[in-house]
Every structure is written in structure tokens, then in C-alpha cells.
Structure 1
């Protein structure tokens, strides 16, 4: 009760900001000088991604060379070479089994011959082998086309990303933090942007 009366009688003094007619507001302006580092000027070429994609389409790996990512060239040729090797190998095997099946049909053989490379295979086994190697050949061709397209996309995206200013003023670093109370460690990510 005492606090209520105290606040009621002395509430006039509680207003800390009171404006009178002859009061003037004085504002002191401090000048702040900021030091800015001069950002390096990057010459942006809007045609660079299209050039890189075109070069990679003409010759796989040339777009990566245009982007100065020379370490990607062996990966491109290794991936394309492996998929083309699988295509050629499966195509040769398919042709071998198909030729043998055609030879048997031309000779009128219902079963395997007594001698030869395919003497232990029936006609049904030859058909199944043809289907297997044909499916593997088609899959290898599809993978080759996909890797060729991926080569072009990689060159294009890499050329786009080279046009962004990435420097040490913007960092994204992991840090290991040890809790002082229970000494448990935790990994945190720190995002820093310096002006």
C-alpha cells in the first residue's frame, strides 16, 4: 500500500523526459571514417560459360582446359574411355553370339555342334547371351551419352562459378569447441563476413 501511494504522489518526478517550450534538442554528429579495402575488379565475360560449353561439346575436356581446371581432363577422358570400352566390348560379344546363332539357323542345326567354341551352348543359351550383351551394350551407350553431357554441364557451371568474387572476407569454417563445464567437444560452423 505504501508503494502505491509513493508512486501516485511522486509520479510527476518519474517522467524522465519532459519537453518544455524553450528546450532545444542538441545533436552531436560524429563522423565515422570507414576503411574499405579496394575490391579487385574482375572482368566478367558473359559469353565465357557458353564458350566453355561449346569447347567441351566439340572436344571433351577442352572446356575444362578453357576454365584452367586441368586436373579434370583425365577424369573426363577416363570416364568416357571406360564407358566406350564397355560399349565396344559388349557389342563384340553380342555380335559373336548373334553370328553363331545365325550360323546354326543357316545350317539347320537344332542343337549345338559337336566341336567348336559354342559346342556346349544350346540355341536358347545363345539367345539369352545375345539379350544380355545387347542390354549391357545399350546401357553402356546411355552412360557414355550421359557422361558426355555431364562434361559439357561441368564446363558451363565451372565457368559460371569463376565469375563470382570468392575471397577471405566471406568464410565458412568449421570449429571445434570444448565445453568448460563437462569437457565435451562439439563441432560448430562459423560464418564470417568482414566489411
Structure 2
């Protein structure tokens, strides 16, 4: 009799254990797949490591092309405006330098027929610009055109750097859960103010 009771107890225990396992399995199957996928997998735009190099290469070939590659079209007029201004001042100072140099060479050769000896087609007894002023003018305009050339080259390089940095930042992961913001707090007890930065990260 005790052996029958023991066997029945074992069967009852196994039956209960099997029932509990089946209930747990059913609960697992009832979970929607969307919840599991959304909580584990986060879809992000793929990172292209060659994108910054491409943007810099395009801007090196043609200024503004890298900005167009980054879809920052509003920067293209700024690029051409800056480089165009540098080129304009270089051409202008180079033209004035050539005028003064040609007149100075004529003076050294003993001629008195350069453009500074005339005013509205009338020959003057004394030139409007002296020989010493022609020499100083050459130095002045040569210096200005060299500065304009350096500025133009710098702006051209800046255009390449801007395209490269922009392409890097476009792939930078900006998460809404991470924020950095300035804060200002007035302390009412001692009438002082505190200024600083607040870093928030939401888990």
C-alpha cells in the first residue's frame, strides 16, 4: 500500500511539473515578435568610412563640389564668394603692379612717355607719379598681390577641410538620450549665480 501511494505521488508531481512547463512555454510563444526585436535590434544608418575622403577629393577637384556631395548646398555660394574675392584682389593688385613696373622700366631707360606723363590725353611737364613713387608703388602692390594669393590658397584649403569635417559630422551618432546643455542657476540664499554645463544620459 505505501508503494502505491509513493508511485501515485511521483506521477502527480511529474504531471504538475509538466503542466507548469507547458504553461511557461505557452507564455513565451504568446510574446509578440515585434517587442523582442525592437528591444534588442536598433537599426541605424550604415557608416561609410570613405565618405570624408570623397568629399575632400571632390572639393579639391572643384571648390563647392564636396559641399554638394554632403548636401550642404547653401555653402556653395559662400565658397565661391570667398575664393572669388581673393582672386579679384590678386588680379587687381597684379594689374596695378604691372602698370607701375612698366612705367618704372621706361623711366630707367630714359623715356618720358609713360602713362603718368599724361592726363586726359594732355602731356604734363611733370609726371603725376615720380620715379621714387613708382618704385614704392611696385613694392606695395607686389606685397598686396602676394597676400591675396596666400589668402586665396588658404580659402581653397579651407573649402577642402570644411567638406571633410562636414562628412565626418554627418555620420556622427547624435542620440536624443544624450544631451549637453548650458544651465544657469540663481542661489537665493547667498544671492550668487552659477553657470555651467549639464550632461544628461537616459538609460
Q: TM-score range with shorter-chain normalisation?
A: 0.7 to 0.9
Q: Which residue of 88, 106, 109 maps to 1:106? A: 109
**TM-aligned CA deviation for residue 62 of structure 1:** 1.0
Q: Which moved more, 1:159-168 or 1:117-126?
A: 117-126
Alpha-carbon distance in structure 2 between the residues aligned to 1:70 and 1:183 = 49
What corresponds to 2:70 in structure 1? 67
What corresponds to 2:132 in structure 1? 124
Alpha-carbon distance in structure 2 between the residues aligned to 1:37 and 1:86 = 59
Q: Is 2:158 aligned against 1:150?
A: yes
**TM-aligned CA deviation for residue 120 of structure 1:** 2.7
CA offsets 1:33-59 (integer angstroms, 9 cap, x no match): xx9585441211111111101110111
What corresponds to 2:18 in structure 1? none
Task: Point out the structure with the larger helix share.
Answer: 2
Alpha-carbon distance in structure 1 between the residues aligned to 2:42 and 2:183 = 28
2:109 match: secondary structure: helix
Alpha-carbon distance in structure 2 between the residues aligned to 1:90 and 1:39 = 59
Task: Please give the residue correspondences for 1:75-86 in structure 2 after superposition, counting only pairs within 5 Å.
Answer: 75-86=78-89
Task: Please give the residue correspondences for 1:39-78 in structure 2 after superposition, counting only pairs within 5 Å.
Answer: 39-78=42-81
CA offsets 1:69-128 (integer angstroms, 9 cap, x no match): 22222221111011111101100110111111122233445xx97644881322111011
Alpha-carbon distance in structure 1 between the residues aligned to 2:89 and 2:149 = 9
List alignment gaps of at least 5 residues for structure 1. Answer: 1-34
What corresponds to 1:13 in structure 2? none
| Residues 75 and 37 (structure 1), Cα distance of their counterparts in 2 relative to 1, 3 Å cut | farther
**Greater Rg by CA:** 2
Task: Please give the residue correspondences for 1:18-37 in structure 2 after superposition, counting only pairs within 5 Å.
Answer: none
| Residues 37 and 96 (structure 1), Cα distance of their counterparts in 2 relative to 1, 3 Å cut | farther
Aligned residues: 159
Q: Which residue of 179, 189, 194 maps to 2:197? A: 189
List alignment gaps of at least 5 residues for structure 2. Answer: 1-37, 121-125
What corresponds to 2:6 in structure 1? none
TM-score, normalized by length of structure 1?
0.73
Question: Over aligned residues, Cα RMSD in angstroms?
Answer: 2.4
Alpha-carbon distance in structure 2 between the residues aligned to 1:186 and 1:113 = 67
Alpha-carbon distance in structure 2 between the residues aligned to 1:115 and 1:67 = 55
